[in-house]
Copies of this chain bind each other. A is one copy, B any other.
């Protein structure tokens, strides 16, 4: 186990009918909030009314900032920052999925500085302070509700970059599984795949061979993502299935899985971010294409690790002592088949991305590889992986 600091101060309020906590929780942090959300769906479900009523009851003034897109855009973040400055806002409230929460964090960081917020993402400036953020989560996926990270797309430069800072943990996040009842099957699946990817990235890229505590946790989270997703797809109103998926996705990227693993990478996300940035594909859909391809490439480097995961979470029924190679191959096929079964794409072709674009995609990924210091990934390597995603 490697040295680590674990310090996650986010307060999670989880369960049925917990949304009305947003008012009191936010009122402890400020009197005037920027309310960040996405499209019209939260108006249709009544969530918008619930949140604004709770905020009003707690005497928190609301400045509205809807319209966050999936793969959230830098321009919209900049517009939010302008509103914060104009209205002397002291707290940011996010109601939505990862895109909304990430936008809220970026606004919270960008509102207290005079330079452009993108400089945080390119590593040219570092965060010194932020506005506080509270959230009501509507999608089990990104983990942003209990971590300090965020991902924003710069639509001018076609860069989808992520970064994190310890000041960007939400103060309070409210997770009501019932709020996720209306998530359609495709986004339910994409969310589960995102959670699986978060765990897989760390599980696979750690170079520490002796992390049994973390391994158990991560294996359990992958199993639970799969099982809970299947329950939600079978019955979108299965409260317990929604609850399991929601809490699993949160734990999948709240810092606990990575604590003790040492330096880990996010190479599958690195490549997927290019697919999202260039073709605006849903993040989870991009990941279900990249994961099998990346694992197939990674098999050459660490077959044993893929085999360990497979033996533990997909044990062969006959318990035969198969070779690592055979188990690793089987594990990749099981993931790929499962992604297909839940109607998520598993090839670039299914995303409508031609093989001829691969060099251009790889070039885009390479920019993020440099920012994230993923030095193992050259243009050639990324192209090789992308060919395995065809």
Mark A residues whose CB is within 8 Å of B. Answer: 1-16, 18, 177, 210, 212-213, 216-217, 219-221, 223-224, 227-228, 240, 243-244, 247-248, 251, 256, 259-260, 319
List residues of chain B with CB within 8 A of the CB of A243: 1, 260
Judge whether B1 and A12 touch: CB under 8 Å.
no
Interface CB pairs A-B, < 8 A, 26: A2-B15, A3-B14, A3-B15, A3-B16, A4-B14, A5-B12, A5-B13, A5-B14, A6-B12, A6-B14, A7-B9, A7-B10, A12-B259, A210-B240, A212-B224, A212-B228, A213-B244, A213-B247, A213-B248, A213-B251, A216-B216, A216-B220, A216-B223, A217-B220, A247-B260, A256-B256
Chain B residues closer than 8 Å to A259, beta-carbon distance: 12, 14
Cα–Cα distance between A14 and B258 once the two chains are bound (Å): 13
Across the interface, which residues of B come within 8 angstroms of A4, CB to CB? 12, 14-15
CB of A236 to closest CB in B, whole Å: 17
Instruction: Name A1's closest neighbour in chain B (CB-CB).
Output: B243
Q: Which residue of B lies closest to A241 (CB)?
A: B210
> A4-B14, A5-B12 are known contacts; what are 13 more A-B pairs with Cβ within 8 Å?
A1-B15, A1-B244, A1-B247, A5-B14, A6-B14, A7-B9, A7-B11, A7-B12, A9-B9, A212-B227, A212-B244, A247-B260, A319-B319
| Least CB distance, A234 to chain B, in whole angstroms | 15
Residues of B within 8 A of A221 (CB): 213, 216
Which residues on the B side are within 8 Å of A217 (C-beta)?
217, 220
Residues of chain B within 8 A (CB-CB) of A10 are 7
Whether B7 pairs with A260 at a CB distance below 8 angstroms is no
Alpha-carbon gap, A259 to B247, bound state (A):
10
Cα–Cα, bound, A244→B216 (Å):
12
Contact flag A1-B213 (CB < 8 Å), given A6-B14, A260-B14: no
- Minimum CB–CB distance for A228 against chain B, Å: 7
CA distance A6 to B172 in the complex (A): 10
A239 nearest in chain B by CB position: B1
Report A13 CB to chain B, min CB distance, Å.
5
Q: Determine if B3 and A18 form an interchain contact, defined as CB atoms under 8 angstroms apart.
A: yes
Q: How far is the CA of A14 from the CA of B213 in the complex (A)?
A: 14
* Bound Cα distance A260, B2 (Å): 30
How many angstroms from the CA of A4 to the CA of B13 in the assembled complex? 6
Residue of B nearest to A223 (CB): B216
Centre residue among A3, A6, A15 by max chain B CB count within 10 A: A6
A238 nearest in chain B by CB position: B210
In the complex, what residues of B have CB within 8 A of residue A256's CB?
A: 256
Bound form: Cα–Cα A3–B174 in Å? 11
- Quote the shortest CB–CB distance from A328 to chain B (angstroms): 22
Closest to A247 in B: B213
CA distance A3 to B176 in the complex (A): 9
Is A224 in contact with B213, judged by CB distance below 8 angstroms?
A: yes
Q: Which residues of chain B come closer than 8 Å to A219, judged between CB atoms? A: 216, 220
A333 to chain B minimum Cβ distance, whole angstroms, is 23
Residue of B nearest to A240 (CB): B210
Which of A177, A210, A219 has the largest number of chain B CB atoms within 10 A? A210
Give the residue name and chain of the B residue nearest to A15 (CB). B3
Q: How far is the CB of A26 from chain B (nearest CB, A)?
A: 16
Query: Within the assembled complex, what's the spacing in Å between the Cα atoms of A256 and B7?
Result: 14
Q: Known: A213-B224, A227-B212, A243-B1. Is A6-B15 also a contact (CB below 8 A)? A: no
7 closest A-B pairs by beta carbon, nearest first, are A3-B15, A216-B220, A7-B11, A1-B243, A6-B12, A210-B240, A9-B9
What separation, in Å, do the CA atoms of A219 and B299 have in the docked complex? 29
Q: How far is the CB of A263 from chain B (nearest CB, A)?
A: 14
The chain B residue sitting closest to A13, CB to CB, is: B5
